Amino acid sequence: MKAWFRMDLWKRVMIGLVIGTLIGLGLRYGLSEEASARAAEYFKPFGDLFLNLIRMLVVPLIFLTLVSGVLSMGDPKKLGSLGGRAIGVYMCTTAVAVTLGLVIGTILQPGAGFDVGSVSQDDIESTRQRLESAGAMETAGVFEQIMRTVLAIVPTNPVDAMARGDVLPVIFFAIMFGIGILMAGEAGKPVADAFNSASEAILKLTLLIMETAPYGVMALMAWVMAAYGLDVVIALGMMTLALYLACGLHMLITHGFLMKFIAKLPLLPFYRGITDAQMVAFSTSSSSGTLPVTMSVAQKNLGIKKPVASSVLPLGATINMDGTALYQGLIALFAAQALGIDMNFGMYITVAVMATLVSIGTAGIPSVSLFLATTTLGVIGATPEQMLLILAPLFAFDRLLDMMRTVTNVTGDLAVSTVVARWENEIDTEVFVAEDRY
Ligand code: ASP
């Protein structure tokens, strides 16, 4: 028992992930479909409990640490350079991700053998309802899309934005409030001290809650595998392969490039340092939900300092979704191949631009990609009926694909934060390379 608790957290989480996967697969393929679905339901509440615990931290963590981050920066101008750099690199990595999705989709042709006639009417109906209730069937133009995002950033009521868990308006208000405290000078000192102390406390609480991660991840994996199994591999074999391959390459090559050549830091400590966050992302399928873990590993394992970790990571959890954008490229090609639509060069470019834009203003929650996909499919000229034919099977088997996209999204946020922290001299490289963590 003592040995278990002495073991590094990431190893314990990894063990939880493997055991959960094995339990889930055992149930799925050892029992009848009905019995395994029932067994899955026993695991779900434990997974949800873990998810609730980390979600509970999202808003207070962003608000408290970001206000305190702005205070420790001391100069609002620095925030401008930091934000500008972060957004610039985020956009570039997202564009590379869509391109990679389009390239892999062109090579592997995931939609070529897919028979749209085999999609069941029930799946089409449930997909239509999901998309309509999320308002995803009303597609917007580029200008409208940008303005929607910009307007969503400024909250009319910050408390309401916090209650709804809307990350971008909370970021906006926290920055403005931090600037207000700085401008108040001496009079703002007591509240500044209070924020600094509260942000330390919430970071400690995050570490405490992370101790439950091995069990939470195990329960989530047991539930996912018992409920969904590996059916996606059979149903959407090429699509699954294409997504996993493209995401893997993106994390290794694009993020590896950022680390090695832009941040000029070694790769291994980076990948080892972020394992906790990747595994939580994989099991929860939500990069917003994973945010507290992402912020915690950034500071504890990568040595990224508060001003960068508290601003660049929450921003990334909403605006930077490499895996999601990459998947938009793949979906476009999957649809074009399955529906027999000819993609010309202009369409490739529009898909890339649209995918980058739509992946911005949306929160990182499970299956968000599929709600965004109506816009991408609109670009290649699919009718609403055709969109349903494509999205229905993807919805039915999305979970395993979503898990990989979410890992890629979170890895992207951490890679870009490391780069920005390096540029801004806000990283403790001794912590980054520390061996005793392992
Ligand atoms: N689930 C993903 C995330 O939270 C978004 C997606 O569906 O691609 O990052």
Distance 67 CA to ligand 1 centre (A): 27
- Please list, in sequence order, all residues whose beta carbon lies within 8 angstroms of the beta carbon of residue 243, skipping any fewer than 6 positions away: 326, 327, 330, 401, 404, 405
**What's the CA-to-centroid distance between 247 and ligand 1, angstroms?**
13
Task: Give pLDDT tens digits for 355-385.
Answer: 888 777 677 788 888 888 888 898 898 998 8
**Ligand 1 center–CA 111 separation, angstroms:** 21
- DSSP letter at 304 equals B
Q: Kindly state if the Cβ of 283 falls inside 6 Å of ligand 1.
A: no
Query: Per residue in 398-421, pLDDT tens?
Result: 999 999 999 999 999 999 999 999
Question: Does residue 26 have its Cβ closer than 6 Å to ligand 1?
Answer: no
Q: Which pLDDT score is estimated for 143?
A: 75
Q: How far is the CA of 286 from the centre of ligand 1 (A)?
A: 6
Other C-beta atoms closer than 10 Å to the C-beta of 350 total: 17
Grouping H, G, I as helix, E, B as strand and the rest as coil, residue 64 is helix
- 3-state SS assignment for residue 425: coil
Distance 155 CA to ligand 1 centre (A): 23
Does pLDDT of 334 surpass 90?
A: yes
pLDDT at 16 over 80: yes
Q: In the predicted model, is pLDDT for residue 135 greater than 80? A: no
Q: What is the topology classification, in CATH, of domain 2-433? A: Proton glutamate symport protein (1.10.3860)
Mean pLDDT calculated for residue range 342-366: 83
Choose one of 294, 320, 321, 394 to mutate for the ligand 1 pocket test, by most ligand atoms within 8 angstroms of C-beta.
321
DSSP class of 112:
T
CA 429 to ligand 1 centroid distance, Å: 30
Tell me the sheet residues that pair with 427. Answer: 304
CA proximity to 359, closest of 367, 350, 368 = 368
Q: How confident is the model at residue 197 (pLDDT cuts 50, 70, 90)?
A: very high
What pLDDT is recorded for position 140? Answer: 64
| Out of 31-40, 292-301, 304-313, least confident range | 31-40
Q: Is the CB of 365 under 6 A from ligand 1?
A: yes
Residues 29-40, mean pLDDT to the nearest whole number: 88
pTM of the predicted structure, to 2 decimals: 0.91
126 or 206, greater pLDDT: 206
Burial class (CB in 10 A: 0-12, 13-18, 19+), 91: middle
Mean pLDDT of 192-202: 95
Of the ranges 11-15, 122-126, 175-179, 307-311, which one carries the lowest mean pLDDT score?
Answer: 122-126
Q: How confident is the model at residue 200 (pLDDT cuts 50, 70, 90)?
A: very high
Retrieve residue 236's tokens.
Answer: 């959407």
Phi, psi of 44, rounded to the nearest 5 degrees: -55, -50
Crossing angle for the helix pair 33-73 and 167-184, to the nearest 10 degrees: 20
Average pLDDT over residues 160-164: 92
Cα 413 to chain center, whole Å? 8
User: How far apart (Å, rounded) are the C-alpha atoms in residues 15 and 5?
Assistant: 13
- DSSP structure string for 195-225: HHHHHHHHHHHHHHHHTTHHHHHHHHHHHHH
Closest C-alpha among 87, 17, 96, 82 to residue 256: 96
Pocket mutation for ligand 1, best pick of 405, 408, 410, 414 (most atoms within 8 Å of C-beta)? 405
Q: Looking at ligand 1, which atom is closest to the CA of residue 410?
A: 9
CA of 414 to the centre of ligand 1 (A): 16
* Percent of the chain predicted with pLDDT > 70: 97
How many A from CA of 329 to the centre of ligand 1?
Answer: 15
Q: What is the pLDDT of residues 217-258, one digit of tens each?
A: 999 999 999 988 888 777 788 999 999 999 999 999 999 999
SS3 438: coil
Q: Which atom of ligand 1 is nearest to the CA of 285?
A: 1
Lowest-confidence segment of 145-149, 184-188, 191-195 by average pLDDT: 145-149
Distance CA 99, CA 101 (A): 5
DSSP helix, strand, coil percent of the chain (3-state; round to 5)? 80, 0, 15
Contact 299 CB / ligand 1 (< 6 Å): no
Q: Environment class of residue 353 by beta-carbon count within 10 Å: exposed (0-12), middle (13-18) or buried (19+)?
A: middle
pLDDT tens, position by position, 45-100: 999 999 999 999 999 999 999 999 999 887 778 888 888 999 999 999 999 999 99
Task: Please provide residue 136's backbone torsions phi and psi, each rounded to the nearest 5 degrees.
Answer: -80, -10
- Give the pLDDT score at 411: 98
In the chain, where are the structural domains located? 2-433
Cα(244) to centroid of ligand 1, in Å? 14
**Ligand 1 centroid to residue 322 C-alpha, Å:** 10
Predicted confidence at residue 85, as pLDDT, reads 93
Close Cβ partners of 168 (under 8 Å, ≥ 6 residues apart): 152, 153, 315, 318, 319, 361
Mean pLDDT of the chain: 90
Beta carbon of 406 within 6 Å of any ligand 1 atom? yes
Q: In this predicted structure, what is the pLDDT of residue 353?
A: 87
Ligand 1, from 280, 286, 371: best to mutate by most atoms within 8 Å of Cβ? Answer: 286
Q: Is 318 in the pocket of ligand 1 (CB under 6 A)?
A: no
pLDDT grade, residue 296 (50/70/90)?
very high
Enter the tokens of residue 341. 């639509």
pLDDT interval class at 18 (50, 70, 90): very high
- Counting ligand 1 atoms within 8 A of each CB, the residue from 278, 285, 401 with the most, and so the one to mutate, is 285
User: Percentage of residues in the chain with pLDDT exceeding 90?
Assistant: 65
- For 117, 354, 383, 415, the CA distances from 389, given in Å and listed in that order, are 8, 21, 10, 36
The answer to whether the Cα torsion of 162, 168, 173, 179 is positive or negative is positive
Which pair of structure tokens corresponds to residue 99?
A: 């391109």
Q: Give the position, in ligand 1's atom list, of the atom nearest the Cα of 398.
A: 7
What is the 74 CA–ligand 1 centroid distance (Å)? 34
Q: Quote the pLDDT of residue 141.
A: 67
Q: What is the pLDDT of residue 118?
A: 79
